[in-house]
Amino acid sequence: MSAPTESHQPLAVHTAALVKNYGRGDNLVQALKSVDFEARCGELLMIVGPSGCGKTTLLSVICGTLGYDSGSAAIFGRDLASMSSAQLTAFRGRNVGFIFQQFNLIPSWTALENVSVPLLLNGVGRAKAEKASAALLAEVGLQDKLKVRPGQLSGGQQQRVAIARAIVHEPRLLICDEPTAALDAASGRKVLELLKQRACRPDRCVIIVTHDSRIFSFADRIAEMEDGQIKAVHGTGDTQKLYV
């Protein structure tokens, strides 16, 4: 970790010598080979690198959806290994928001219902949850799509619903895996603008895995991965180097 960080900000995610293998014996794949990684509150950090280098695996481990083999991983100072799977699930529900490449909006639910899920899972009542969700959908410009199902929305609109769902419960960590991969250039840009505007806050850390060099300029820092390891971390100033 050579690049400068805003070290006055508290640590959001921290891993040390993190190792994750898939399979065993002849089929063993070393997806993460001793990864030291940190992300701080208030920053938008991107993880980039060639396909298969372990970006998704790293993301899955640091948000507590995937176990790891050795090393350590902590979110907001809580060691992931110290939590039971039920504790981890509850912790994720409170502290982590997700944006996926495939959106993963539930097709039979309306936009409003999809957005209110994290609140419902956190025990908020239906009326209150839907009120907050409607307000947020209005903020992302979908006030007239509350009762519409995802199938009737464009990709960009669906991803905006997904953004609303990811932040409606005010999580401290936002995890995005290729949020623009399924979108055209213009929609992708809009999504990033929206993320920068609505999701980035001093007390929140946003981590985005991406291939999409068009959106690199939105990053505060960029971690470059290769073959299961972090190769380099670039600060705001030197992201230009990554544009090939």
Contact residues toward ligand ATP (CB under 6 A) are 22-23, 29, 31, 51-57
Q: Which of 21, 56, 122, 229 binds Mg ion (CB under 5 A)?
A: 56
Asked whether position 86 contacts another protein by CB under 8 A, the answer is yes
Q: Determine the length of the chain.
A: 244
| Spatial separation of the C-alpha atoms in residues 84 and 119, rounded to whole Å | 22
Residue range at the interface with another protein (CB under 8 A); choices 42-50, 57-65, 72-80, 227-235 = 57-65
Contact 9, 39 (CB under 8 A): no
* Between 37 and 137, CB nearer to Mg ion: 37
Residue 113 touches which member of Mg ion, ligand ATP, another protein, none, C-beta under 5-8 Å by kind: another protein
The amino acid at 228: G
DSSP annotation of 196 reads I
Q: One-letter amino acid identity for 191?
A: V
Q: Can you list the positions of beta strands (E) in the chain?
A: 11-22, 29-40, 44-48, 70-75, 78-79, 96-99, 173-177, 205-209, 221-226, 229-234
Nearest to 120 by CA among 80, 163, 169, 71: 169
Give yes or no for a contact between 216 and 48, defined as CB atoms under 8 angstroms apart.
yes
Contact 182, 20 (CB under 8 A): no
Minimum Å gap between C-beta 157 and ligand ATP is 24
Q: Which residue is nearest to Mg ion (CB)?
A: 56
Which of Mg ion, another protein, ligand ATP, none interacts with 224 (beta carbon under 5 to 8 A by kind)?
none
Distance in Å, CB of 178 to another protein, minimum:
9
Can you tell me the distance from the alpha carbon of 27 to that of 96, in angstroms, rounded to the nearest whole number? 32
Give min distance, CB of 59 to another protein, in A.
7
The C-alpha torsion from 146 through 147 and 150 to 156, rounded to 10°, is -30
Using CB under 8 A as the binding rule, whether residue 218 contacts another protein is answered as no
Nearer to another protein, 102 or 197 (CB): 102
Q: How far is the CB of 143 from ligand ATP (least distance, A)?
A: 34
Q: Considering only residues 46, 54, 75, 113, which one is a binding residue for another protein as defined by CB under 8 A?
A: 113
Which of 49, 118, 179, 188 binds another protein (CB under 8 A)? It is 118
